[in-house]
Amino acid sequence: MAKEEKNKKDNVKYGAEQISVLEGLEPVRRRPGMYIGSTGIDGLHHLVWEIFDNSRDEAMGGYCDHIEVVLLPDNSVRVTDNGRGIPVEIHPKTKVSALETVMTTLHAGGKFGGDDSGYKVSGGLHGVGASVVNALSIYTKAEVHKDGGKYMQEYTQGKKKANVKKVATSKNHGTIISFKPDEEIFKQIKFDWNTIINHLRQQAYLVKGLRIDIIDAREWDPITGGKGKSNDYENVFWFRELDLELPSTSFYFEGGLVSLVKYYNKLEKPIHSSVFYIEKEIDSVGVEVALQYVDDIDSQIIPFANNIYNNEGGTHVTGFKTALTRVLNTYGKKNNLIKEIDGGLTGDDVLEGLVAVVSVKLREIQFEGQTKGKLGSTEAQGAVATVFGDAFSSFLEENPDEAKAIISKSLLALRARKAAKAAKDSVLRKGALEGMTLPGKLADCQVKDAENAEIFIVEGDSAGGTAKMGRDRKTQAILPLRGKILNIERARLDRMLGSEQIKNLVIAMGTSIGDTFDLEKIRYHKIIIATDADVDGAHIRTLILTLMYRYFRPVLDAGYIYIAQPPLFKIKKGKEIFYAYSDEERDKILGKEASHLEELLVEEGEEVNNSEEAENENEEKSEKKSSKIHIQRYKGLGEMNAEELWETTMDPSNRVLKQVTIDDAEEANKVFDMLMGSEVPPRKSFIQSNAKMARLDV
């Protein structure tokens, strides 16, 4: 039998005709993730960045000072610049227009060829930007205004519809690229306004003197909704010339990276007044660094290579961190600020409270991966370490008061790190060696497989008792927390682990914390925060989320954190019982009776009593008053009996859970800093600005 199978395999033909050759842009459509990272929301926005980057590179070269990005009603995007315009003459190698070559051929563009190329420095990756966007769009149009003419070419899924042709005369110069992402490729085509604003704001800081306009025209009706008619935006160079009343934002900064650092620190308290800044070129690598320390325990390093944001860092960040640690240790020991007993500052110590922007510009640039997330160019590491190290050393020598403040901040971090290690070791030692593997208040589940286990974090012993009675003991664990946990945004790890409530939660999760954190050891794949539907419950939920965001970020990223949605109302219509999770749902259940809402609300303890002894009595009263409707407003999980809590909040077949995700970590960081940090003015301003939107349960 084995011989027969072998003969069958030997008979399978494998020759040249079995080798697939994908022509043109076909590889992009077959494997889009290789070129834009994903076909989700990040990949969708990556299309905008690729086209914008081409215009931005014109600005970096000094040929463009204005870029406009417009989101149009049909989910298409229009990017306009006043640069030189993509060349339209016949390309000597491809024998077609240079515009067509750029738009339909991978690895084609003006960013190759050394000093004779169109760009000295560019953010373009492998020359694939425009052609990849074209391949992944159901429709693309390129318009070039150049040498007194307007030239145009249209494409469908990367294939040209006709040759490049001159369609009009023009006094403008620049390029307009319009594209509509292909629904066959992307899971959802919905551009996020805030994501685009935040990304392009960064770019405006990075290119001094560049004006960037962003216009949201998605709600605009081109036929009836403004001064223009349907084809007006196709006939104007700048969309803003239509003078429509649409949501828009403009950015223009002269301060560069110093302004960007100040922007990031606008809600923080600096520990030294001036922002350090250096810009210098060494060995054909341009290095630009700005930094400032603030009164915070977190750090932010925002890296760029040729103005491309590198969310995964890279060689330039490595060079920066190495130099920062070396310079601070050298200065601190030389000036007797770091004692022998302290030892040396580590990389983590010198990062605490740091906000820095590190930007490099290279002629030949290498990224790890198509999406430019990580810089791989080795020459950047040495260049940054040398330029930044020398300049920062001089800065400390010339500003002794600021240097002392920075060293003191790092020493505080060093001592806190040592104290936190001792506290953490104590927690782990107690958990593993003293028979307290799990906290006493935890009612654990029976299954040991984390994938099928879930834990409810509930507010107080009353809700904890009800949840323990109502749960599915096989898969559901219950951990009651007493009152409000410590606000860890204002506390270091050593003090945090001194809190019994936080300690119980850390041990129950099983991941450990800090440098020994291990996501693989997590005991539950659903960590469900179930607090009361009132102001205190919301506060406790926020405190827990702050803890998770700061110290258990991988748990959040893995999608293991959920928020329970207990009902707000129990509605009895005769013998029928309904649960409503919002005011709107309540009114829908009530129908016409919603107009008599105040008369129907049940006072606490009246008519509807949740104690087991009163169940029969409630049923009798309901029968006698079957024509009436009673509404009970739940203010806490403890007001439900075990059966109600299971049915509405814990039963996987009925319950509603909200998964907690972090779409924009940078913005999330600012929100946590503002709402939970020690600085009062930003929080006060936020409350005053948003007070009218609050819905208070008083």
Average pLDDT score over residue span 13-31: 59
| Spatial CB neighbours of 229, under 8 Å, sequence gap ≥ 6 | 222, 223
Three-state DSSP class for 528? strand
Average pLDDT score over residue span 518-522: 92
Q: Report the distance separating Cα 77 and Cα 59, nearest Å.
A: 20
Specify whether 534 is catalytic: yes
pLDDT of residue 418: 79
Higher pLDDT, residue 11 or 97: 97
Q: Report the distance separating Cα 364 and Cα 490, nearest Å.
A: 44
Q: Which residues pair with 375 in a beta bridge?
A: 314, 367
Residue indicated by tokens 């020459």: 379
Share of the chain above pLDDT 70, in %: 78
Higher pLDDT, residue 551 or 258: 258
Q: pLDDT grade, residue 428 (50/70/90)?
A: low
Q: How does pLDDT run across 398-419, given as a tens digit for each residue? A: 999 999 999 999 998 888 877 7
pLDDT of residue 549: 86
pLDDT of residue 340: 80
Q: How does pLDDT run across 311-339, given as a tens digit for each residue? A: 889 999 999 999 999 999 999 999 999 98
Between strands 66-71 and 211-216, the pairing is parallel
Q: Report the distance separating Cα 568 and Cα 532, nearest Å.
A: 10
Contact yes or no for 289/320 (Cβ under 8 A)? yes
Q: How does pLDDT run across 39-67, given as a tens digit for each residue? A: 999 899 999 999 999 999 899 888 999 99
C-alpha distances in Å from residue 620, one per residue of 607, 625, 628, 642, 643: 10, 9, 13, 21, 20
> Is 2 a residue whose pLDDT tops 60?
no
Average pLDDT score over residue span 606-632: 54
Higher pLDDT, residue 371 or 149: 149
Contact yes or no for 371/36 (Cβ under 8 A)? yes
> Is 382 a residue whose pLDDT tops 90?
yes
**Given 532, 644, 647, 673, which residue is catalytic?**
532
Q: Report the distance separating Cα 437 and Cα 661, nearest Å.
A: 30
Contact yes or no for 499/551 (Cβ under 8 A)? no
Q: Report the distance separating Cα 327 and Cα 396, nearest Å.
A: 9
Average pLDDT score over residue span 557-586: 87
pLDDT of residue 580: 86
pLDDT of residue 173: 96
Average pLDDT score over residue span 441-462: 91
| Token pair in block for residue 402 | 């600021």
**Given 342, 536, 585, 587, which residue is catalytic?**
536
| Token pair in block for residue 124 | 């373009």
Q: pLDDT grade, residue 16 (50/70/90)?
A: very low
Three-state DSSP class for 684? helix
Q: Within 10 A of 406 (CB to CB), how many other CB atoms are there?
A: 27
Contact yes or no for 498/570 (Cβ under 8 A)? no
pLDDT of residue 568: 86
| Token pair in block for residue 621 | 């009263």
Q: Within 10 A of 359 (CB to CB), how many other CB atoms are there?
A: 26
Average pLDDT score over residue span 176-197: 94
Q: pLDDT grade, residue 683 (50/70/90)?
A: low
> Is 200 a residue whose pLDDT tops 70?
yes
pLDDT of residue 459: 86
> Is 68 a residue whose pLDDT tops 90?
yes
> Is 21 a residue whose pLDDT tops 60?
no
Nearest to 129 by CA among 372, 421, 373: 372
Share of the chain above pLDDT 90, in %: 46
Q: Which domains does the chain have, with CATH numbers?
A: 26-251 (3.30.565.10), 257-417 (3.30.230.10), 438-565+660-693 (3.40.50.670)
pLDDT of residue 92: 85
Q: pLDDT grade, residue 1 (50/70/90)?
A: very low
pLDDT of residue 15: 41
pLDDT of residue 311: 86
The b/e string for 299-317 (b: 16+ C-beta within 10 A; e otherwise) is bbbbbbbbbbbbeebbbbb
Contact yes or no for 395/405 (Cβ under 8 A)? no
**Environment class of residue 365 by beta-carbon count within 10 Å: exposed (0-12), middle (13-18) or buried (19+)?**
buried
Average pLDDT score over residue span 77-92: 93
Q: pLDDT grade, residue 666 (50/70/90)?
A: low
Contact yes or no for 481/506 (Cβ under 8 A)? no
Average pLDDT score over residue span 215-226: 83
Q: Report the distance separating Cα 374 and Cα 316, nearest Å.
A: 10
pLDDT of residue 387: 97
Summary mean pLDDT of the chain = 82
Higher pLDDT, residue 523 or 586: 523
Average pLDDT score over residue span 242-254: 91
Higher pLDDT, residue 694 or 31: 31
Q: How does pLDDT run across 269-314, given as a tens digit for each residue? A: 899 989 999 999 999 999 999 999 998 888 899 999 988 889 889 9
Least confident range from 13-27, 215-229, 474-488: namely: 13-27
Phi–psi pair at 139, nearest 5 degrees: -150, 135
Q: pLDDT grade, residue 223 (50/70/90)?
A: confident
Q: Report the distance separating Cα 513 and Cα 516, nearest Å.
A: 6
Least confident range from 100-109, 261-270, 446-455: namely: 100-109
Specify whether 81 is catalytic: no
Q: Report the distance separating Cα 648 and Cα 632, nearest Å.
A: 14
Q: Report the distance separating Cα 213 and Cα 79, nearest Å.
A: 10
Q: How does pLDDT run across 345-363, given as a tens digit for each residue? A: 999 999 999 999 999 999 8
Specify whether 532 is catalytic: yes
| HSE, side-chain direction, 13 A CA sphere, residue 269 | 11
The b/e string for 552-591 (b: 16+ C-beta within 10 A; e otherwise) is beebbeeebbbbbbbbbbbbbbeeeebbbeeeebbeebbe
pLDDT of residue 27: 81
**Given 26, 154, 234, 534, which residue is catalytic?**
534
Average pLDDT score over residue span 558-572: 90
**Given 268, 459, 639, 644, which residue is catalytic?**
459
Specify whether 587 is catalytic: no
